[in-house]
């Protein structure tokens, strides 16, 4: 893999500008109710993203901006940047930070439209990048993401690794996300070939750069095909059976030696157990600026062929010690500056 441009976006697309196709929404909702079965989203997402009692005529993209982004929907300001900057500057091997920021509280013109969620994107891509194959590759890297919302991370990865280096599948169970991911990405990257199950496109990564599909129409399609699996801040809003399923399913779709990247709060809606496959080797488990004080790890695993339970336990112990210390220096700097600790 070769980074081609240190930028998160090529085209600015306002989320509020996306329009809901009511007929398509109703068709996806009917399919969900008839066929999703065990993949029915948790209640919080049924209400936010369709599948509940709300009619399409009552639904709007604005309903989803907070569930997708939460606090991250706010524009980056010097205070929010100060939480992220030391960390992202230290880990940034892609050159993205200097594109948007001139210092810990100085935002360049290119960064004026960035949201706090975009700071999280800079964290994600820089924690993923070191574990990708380096240099020119004989074929595109195949990526599968569950719960990618409107395509925030997919857009960034395609911008950083442009030129046919990626083939990407976005899996979701929320009707509105399945619609708006297509609407957003076709506007953000009109040069990419984007397919969608609900627009009559069959799964074929030779035809599409990005393919969008509900899990219940894909779960048997991708066994052993993918190099990287991603879940960022969506398992934290699922139920135990969903989390168990997706961790096991990631193991099925990943090739031997492939990588999984996950970043989820442990004290959010889901507070259950995380049953990672024993043969996944933990390569990284760390706190990030998404929260220095909550149990909110970013994790990288490699699919192996033996049990890594003992090593993974040590990684958990190291992480818990890091969490307990709560990055005291950063917290002290925030307190001295009068910033709110979150």
CA dihedral 88, 159, 155, 266 (to 10 degrees): -20
- How does pLDDT run along the chain (342 residues), one tens digit per residue? 898 989 998 888 888 788 778 888 889 989 998 999 999 887 766 665 555 555 555 566 666 666 666 667 789 999 889 889 999 999 999 999 999 999 998 999 999 999 989 999 999 999 999 999 998 889 999 999 999 988 999 999 999 999 899 999 999 998 888 998 999 999 999 999 999 999 999 999 999 999 999 999 998 888 899 999 999 999 998 999 999 999 999 999 999 999 999 999 988 888 999 999 999 999 999 988 887 567 889 999 999 999 999 999 999 999 888 876 656 766 777 777 777 665
What per-residue confidence (pLDDT) applies to 51?
54
Q: Is residue 49 part of a domain?
A: no
Q: How many CB atoms lie within 10 A of CB 313?
A: 11
Q: Is residue 306 part of a domain?
A: yes
The whole-model pTM stands at 0.90
What per-residue confidence (pLDDT) applies to 258?
98
What per-residue confidence (pLDDT) applies to 124?
97
Q: Is residue 43 part of a domain?
A: no
* Best CA proximity match to 262, nearest among 297, 212, 312: 297
Euclidean distance between CA atoms 299 and 285, whole angstroms: 4
Q: Is residue 249 part of a domain?
A: yes
Q: Is residue 205 part of a domain?
A: yes
Q: Is residue 195 part of a domain?
A: yes
Look up the domain containing 301 and give its range. Answer: 137-335
What per-residue confidence (pLDDT) applies to 66?
62
Euclidean distance between CA atoms 342 and 332, whole angstroms: 13
The answer to whether 312 and 320 have CB atoms below 8 angstroms apart is no
β-pair type (194-196, 101-103): unpaired
- Axis-axis angle for helices 116-128, 152-160 (nearest 10): 50
What per-residue confidence (pLDDT) applies to 339?
72
Our count of domains for the chain comes to 1
The answer to whether 298 and 315 have CB atoms below 8 angstroms apart is no
CATH number of the domain at 186, please. 3.40.50.150
What per-residue confidence (pLDDT) applies to 26?
86
Q: Is residue 259 part of a domain?
A: yes
Q: Is residue 241 part of a domain?
A: yes
């Amino acid at each position: 893999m070769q980074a081609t441009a240190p930028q998160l976006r090529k085209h600015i697309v306002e989320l509020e500008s996306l329009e809901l196709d009511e007929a398509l929404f109703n068709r996806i909702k009917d399919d969900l109710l008839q066929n999703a079965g065990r993949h029915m989203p948790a209640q919080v997402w049924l209400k936010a993203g369709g599948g509940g009692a709300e009619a399409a005529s009552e639904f709007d993209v604005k309903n989803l901006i907070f569930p997708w982004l939460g606090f991250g929907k706010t524009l980056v300001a010097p205070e929010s940047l100060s939480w992220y900057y030391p960390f992202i500057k230290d880990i940034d091997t892609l050159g993205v930070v200097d594109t948007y920021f001139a210092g810990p509280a100085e935002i360049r013109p290119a960064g004026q439209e960035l949201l706090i969620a975009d700071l999280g994107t800079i964290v994600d891509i820089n924690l993923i990048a070191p574990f990708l194959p380096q240099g020119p590759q004989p074929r595109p890297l195949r990526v599968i993401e569950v719960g990618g919302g409107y395509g925030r991370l997919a857009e960034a990865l395609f911008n950083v690794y442009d030129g046919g280096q990626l083939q990407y599948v976005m899996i979701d169970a929320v009707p509105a996300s399945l619609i708006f991911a297509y609407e957003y990405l076709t506007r953000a990257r009109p040069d990419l070939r984007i397919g969608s199950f609900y627009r009559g496109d069959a799964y074929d990564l030779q035809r599409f750069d990005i393919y969008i599909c509900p899990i219940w129409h894909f779960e048997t399609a991708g066994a052993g095909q993918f190099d990287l699996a991603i879940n960022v801040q969506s398992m934290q809003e699922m139920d135990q059976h969903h989390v168990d399923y997706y961790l096991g399913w990631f193991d099925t779709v990943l090739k031997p030696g492939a990588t999984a990247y996950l970043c989820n709060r442990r004290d959010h809606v889901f507070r259950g157990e995380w049953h990672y496959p024993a043969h996944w080797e933990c390569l990284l488990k760390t706190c990030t600026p998404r929260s220095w004080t909550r149990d909110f790890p970013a994790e990288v695993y490699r699919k192996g062929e033996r049990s890594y339970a003992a090593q993974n336990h040590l990684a958990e112990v190291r992480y818990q010690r890091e969490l307990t210390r709560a990055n005291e220096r950063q917290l002290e700097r925030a307190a001295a500056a009068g910033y709110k600790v979150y």
